[in-house]
């Protein structure tokens, strides 16, 4: 089946159901753009509609994003969300416009610019650094399969997004969102707040309208957390839905990539493109699925923040108003050895899979193993360890082999806890189709002195991450300008269901908030909260 045939139903449904109109909002404090297209607050479906109707060209769109990167990321608020740009972006946009003029566009995403987290390879002339100067020359000439899917759809790879170095698997005292290559990513809503990690640059760039959408990766929370604190939609798909070839790894049993956008329909479109238009995620969106649906509310996943709990209670009420039946879930037991077992599994897999990645890179890089990386960081400590150390890297060198009983027992424990005794049990025992909880706590200030200092955690995203089951976060509001999100989880392969549930929730609110680039939160901001 040709790509055009595969996407046709999705395009028809989106056009009919979404009734898309291009927005033209400005960020607070920004000068109106003179460019033919104002991308601020535009969702991906709106962009697709604008290209289709000729409201603007791919060249107009790409130029607008490049201009925003210069004025918002490189100067102005200086978000540090972008590590590198594709020098061929405008040339690719021109080719897309020519295809569209001839009626030969490859998909609804033809001519749409996207950013990739900088641990995902593309065959464009950009290094894949994982935020480390050790990989500054890691230009591989390869597309990760998800990138190939986007490229075959006619999408433009605009550049690479900053990230927590080594996907936040380097130090137990790390600063999320910092890398030696890209610096510290700022949250565009409140600039001194955490952008979270490890897909910090991807989420911040999406929120700040630096691309139509971005691709992040997650091992344990790295799509969900940055998406929620930056006020955007993030989908951590079912593990294995997207191949992880040519992505700098942590743990193959948990690693996955996923879309980060400003709307649920946009996430569905991106997932369609990344999977070769095989599953019709956008075309199957149906907000009515929540009518009569039993939704399990994870009350045990709350923290002690009254304001966050008030937002979550309001989100529950919105779901109930949409026709869902709410089922309260007060507890879920986790064995005391779970945390230790989880860390052991990650360390064991990291050593094996990072060694394989580094040794197999076709680029001329100075490291070919985890041991080489540890030595490189010591030799270049002024740059690489300027803010925090590498205790996780060092301990991973001593992790048990993957064929050992120690590793196998730990893997069995965490899978049973998150699958059989976790999400599967919660769905079955409470007779619910979907689980609902906060996506995380309110983002704290970034602290480069003490490392990450988060409030008591809220949410149950680790169950989805470790089980390999899907998790979707959708904006549910803000607290003093700081975004918070709500998560929807379900069993393996329930990606399409979660997207429809997320769409239903999205329709009850205001969607992704427009960043205000506030310097900080002060006492006046707290009045009335």
Catalytic residue among 122, 209, 222, 443: 222
Going from the C-alpha of 431 to that of each of 40, 325, 381, 525, the distances in angstroms are: 42, 11, 53, 42
8 catalytic, yes or no? Answer: no
Name, in order, each residue with C-beta under 8 angstroms of 237's C-beta and a sequence gap of 6 or more: 256, 257, 258, 271, 470, 495
Q: Is the peptide bond before 37 cis (omega within 30 degrees of 0)?
A: no
Give me the residues paired with residue 160 across strands. Answer: 84, 116
How far is residue 303's CA from residue 441's CA, in Å, rounded to a whole number?
7
How far from chain centre, in Å, is Cα 13? 25
Nearest CA-CA partner of 410 in 251, 261, 263: 251
How far from chain centre, in Å, is Cα 199? 6
Catalytic residue among 122, 144, 198, 342: 198
User: What is the DSSP secondary structure assignment for residue 165, as one 8-state letter?
Assistant: G
Burial call 321-331: b when 16+ CB within 10 Å, e when fewer? ebebeeeebee
Which tokens belong to 330? 């007060």
198 catalytic, yes or no? Answer: yes
144 catalytic, yes or no? Answer: no
Give me the residues paired with residue 115 across strands. Answer: 159, 214
How far is residue 412's CA from residue 410's CA, in Å, rounded to a whole number?
5
- DSSP H or E run through 358: helix 338-360
Counts for the chain of helices (H) and strands (E), in that order: 17, 13
Catalytic residue among 117, 186, 262, 351: 117
How far is residue 249's CA from residue 129's CA, in Å, rounded to a whole number?
12
CA angle 461, 268, 504 (to 5 degrees): 70
Q: Among all residues, which ones are annotated catalytic? A: 117, 198, 222
């Amino acid at each position: 089946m040709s790509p055009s045939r595969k996407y046709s139903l999705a395009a028809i449904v989106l056009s009919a159901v979404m009734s898309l109109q291009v927005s033209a909002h400005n960020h607070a404090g920004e000068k109106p753009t003179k460019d033919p297209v104002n991308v601020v607050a535009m969702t991906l479906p709106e962009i697709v509609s604008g290209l289709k109707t000729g409201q603007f060209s791919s060249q107009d769109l790409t130029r607008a994003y490049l201009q925003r990167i210069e004025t918002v990321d490189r100067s102005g608020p200086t978000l540090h969300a972008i590590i590198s740009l594709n020098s061929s972006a405008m040339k690719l946009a021109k080719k897309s416009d020519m295809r569209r003029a001839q009626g030969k566009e490859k998909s609804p995403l033809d001519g749409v610019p996207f950013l990739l987290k900088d641990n995902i390879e593309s065959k464009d002339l950009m290094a894949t650094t994982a935020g480390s100067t050790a990989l500054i020359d890691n230009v591989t000439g390869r597309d990760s399969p998800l990138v190939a899917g986007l490229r075959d759809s006619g999408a433009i790879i605009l550049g690479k997004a900053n990230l927590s170095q080594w996907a936040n698997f380097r130090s137990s005292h790390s600063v999320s969102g910092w890398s030696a290559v890209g610096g510290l990513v700022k949250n565009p809503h409140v600039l001194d707040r955490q952008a979270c990690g490890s897909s910090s640059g991807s989420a911040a760039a999406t929120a700040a309208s630096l691309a139509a959408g971005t691709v992040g990766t997650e091992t344990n929370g790295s799509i969900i957390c940055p998406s929620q604190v930056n006020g955007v939609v993030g989908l951590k798909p079912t593990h294995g839905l997207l191949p992880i070839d040519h992505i700098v790894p942590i743990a193959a049993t948990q690693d996955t990539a996923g879309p980060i956008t400003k709307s649920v329909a946009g996430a569905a479109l991106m997932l369609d493109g990344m999977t070769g238009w095989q599953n019709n995620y956008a075309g199957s969106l149906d907000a009515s699925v929540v009518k009569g649906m039993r939704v399990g509310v994870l009350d045990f996943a709350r923290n002690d923040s009254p304001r966050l709990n008030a937002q979550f209670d309001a989100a529950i009420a919105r779901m109930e108003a949409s026709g869902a039946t709410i089922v309260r879930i007060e507890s879920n037991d986790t064995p005391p050895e779970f945390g230790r077992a989880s860390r052991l599994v990650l360390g064991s897999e990291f050593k094996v899979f990072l060694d394989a990645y580094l040794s197999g890179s076709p680029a001329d890089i100075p490291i070919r193993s985890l041991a080489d990386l540890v030595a490189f960081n010591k030799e270049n400590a002024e740059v690489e360890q300027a803010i925090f150390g590498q205790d996780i890297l060092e301990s991973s060198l001593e992790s048990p082999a993957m064929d050992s009983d120690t590793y196998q027992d730990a893997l069995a424990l965490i899978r049973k806890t998150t699958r059989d005794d976790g999400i599967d049990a919660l769905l079955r025992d409470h007779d619910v189709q979907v689980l609902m909880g906060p996506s995380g706590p309110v983002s704290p200030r970034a602290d480069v002195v003490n490392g990450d200092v988060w409030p008591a955690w809220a949410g149950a995203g680790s169950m989805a991450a470790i089980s390999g089951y899907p998790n979707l976060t959708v904006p549910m509001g803000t607290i003093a300008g700081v975004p918070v999100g709500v998560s929807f989880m379900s069993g393996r392969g329930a990606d399409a269901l979660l997207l429809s549930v997320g769409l239903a929730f999205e329709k009850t609110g205001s969607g992704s908030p427009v960043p205000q680039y506030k310097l900080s939160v002060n006492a006046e901001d707290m009045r009335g909260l």
